[in-house]
Structure 1
Amino acid sequence: MAEETSKNVVGGNGVTIATGTFGDPLAPPVLLIMGAMASMMWWPDEFCRKLAASGRYVIRYDNRDTGLSTKYAPGNPPYSMEDMAGDAVAVLDAYGIASAHLVGMSLGGMIAQILALSAPERVSSLTLVSTTPMGLELELPPISTDYMEHVAAAESVDWSDRTQVIDFMTKDARMVASTAHPHDANRIRAFIERDHDRSGGLLSATNHFMLQGGDTVKGKLKSLEAPLLVIHGTTDPIFSVEHGMAIAEVVAGSEYLPIAGGGHELHRADWGIIIPAIVRHTD
């Protein structure tokens, strides 16, 4: 079973990005980009090992303000989504990879779109999971009312208080969970505790709520060069299934894979669908 190898990468303006790899460095490289407030640990170890065992060199990393990467004072992030796309390039450069298969989830999918459209020569293929189209003015369903009420409650959370943060994030995981599979609240809470403690808290990660970016790729999604796979849960409360469908409709020749009852998560019961699809797409 592939074990993770870790190292830090220095990107633009001295930003330190913590990374981890699984598998054979000579295998086709797959770069995993996670979403808002989520460290690379939200790409579960077992998920990464299974993908690596399928013949891929898997690289994951902590976005800025998460995990062990550079963090900033909360409230006014001095960077954009374009800068975060630059972090992905820095990771590829550090591993000597000219072009990789990108897999981006949620905010990570938005960052991956920016990279694929601004530096197409660095992207062999693109897989977008539970995300929304970038740079297009489309009328798509908003975030669900229940989840918006949950987000509003975040303003009353003391993000420096471990118990409050873990309580809120555990509830968040429940709200975005699959409707087709059981939700293991105890396992999720234990994971969130580990992620919180590894990161030294999630206060800086709240900067992701205020991120700007995407203007550099306005109107460009239709001209995407990389082969595209869109994976989207049919009951996602953040980006409804229409968001994933819209991406697939805009990009000619793309593949669209709905996950029945899927939420805004990588539920392990769906890995048997998701991982083979990524392997096929990156073959």
Structure 2
Amino acid sequence: MSTVEVNGVVFGINSFGNEEDPLVLLIGSTTMLSWPDAFCEALAAGGRHAVRYDLRDSGDSTAGNPMKPAYDLRDLAADAAALAAHLDDRPAHLAGIGVSGMVAQVAALDHPGSFDALTLVGTRPVAPGPVDDDLPDHDQATMGKLFSRPMPDWMDREAVARRSAEGSQILGNDHQTAKVLAGRIWDRTAGSTPEVHMANQIGIVFSKLDCTPRWRERLPELEIPTLVIHGAKDPFFPVGNGEALAREIPNASLLVLENASTVIPPSDFGEVAAAMLQL
């Protein structure tokens, strides 16, 4: 892992594979660790230079006050384009997972010359907040269980990891994997305030961002190969959101992972990497 500075912002990055191979830029959600090591290695083994990175206010990237971010969604999209240009003079394959899939959509729309392929995993075509009437919203029973739990002491690594494991189980993901991941994220978190640790763990910064104007109506402008991946059991962004993306982006393909929820399970790493390598 290392850092690079682009446009006055420092980004934590982690590279896999040969730098001469075509670039696949993986946007963290919010930290780079949302893209598992073994999955990045699978992309590298397929002849890609896979680079994952931390968003602002997470990991090794520039940190401010995540409760009052001094940037908006368009800035995060511009970050992706600038970082891609810094790493490779060729257009990159851009991938976003969860809320970072929103960043990826806007980046591909606002910076069309920067990217030649797009992968969107477990995301939706509208910003955080009220959902469009035709899109399935969060499963309310699951959200009730998820958000009714008390907050942990964000300065207590074990308590944070334990809460992440509990939340992962509620969402239908593997709880032990989530516990280990939360510990790794905690260890990489810059600063020593509860707010920063919370932002790194649960991506609360996205609820604070200015995400206007809407971009869903612009999706038909996308002219690059696009792969939409969604877990059939996702209660946070139910699969109908991925289906909408695949319908509205011209010639997009949809890969539904029948046994997945909000993350890509290890059993699907090979299939997902192979689909991305075909773009």
Q: TM-score, normalised by structure 2?
A: 0.88
| 1:1-283 aligned within 5 A | 6-12=1-7, 14-35=8-29, 38-134=30-126, 137-153=132-148, 156-178=151-173, 183=174, 185-200=175-190, 202-205=197-200, 206-215=204-213, 217=215, 219-281=217-279
SS in 2 for 1:270: helix
SS in 1 for 2:135: coil
Q: In the aligned structure 2, how far is the partner of 1:77 from the partner of 1:140? A: 28
| Residues 121-166 of structure 1: per-residue CA shift (max 9 Å, x gap) | 1110111110001479552111112332245336744433434322
Q: In the aligned structure 1, how far is the partner of 2:84 from the partner of 2:223? A: 19
How large is the RMSD of aligned CA atoms in angstroms?
A: 2.1
Letter in 2 for 1:33: I
Count of aligned pairs between the two proteins: 268
Any gaps of 5 or more consecutive residues in structure 2?
A: 191-195
In structure 2, the CA distance between the partners of 1:228 and 1:96, relative to structure 1 (3 Å rule), is: closer
Q: Which residue of 2 aligns with 1:3?
A: none
Any gaps of 5 or more consecutive residues in structure 1?
A: 1-5
In structure 2, the CA distance between the partners of 1:270 and 1:53, relative to structure 1 (3 Å rule), is: same
| Residues 9-39 of structure 1: per-residue CA shift (max 9 Å, x gap) | 2234x2211111111122111111132xx31
Q: Could you tell me how far 1:72 is from its partner in structure 2?
A: 1.9
| Residues 17-67 of structure 1: per-residue CA shift (max 9 Å, x gap) | 1111111122111111132xx311221111111110111111110111211
Q: In the aligned structure 2, how far is the partner of 1:228 from the partner of 1:9? A: 28
**Contact 2:42 2:269 (8 Å CA) reproduced:** no
Q: TM-score, normalised by structure 1?
A: 0.87
Q: Percent identity?
A: 32
| Residues 221-246 of structure 1: per-residue CA shift (max 9 Å, x gap) | 12211111111111101110000000
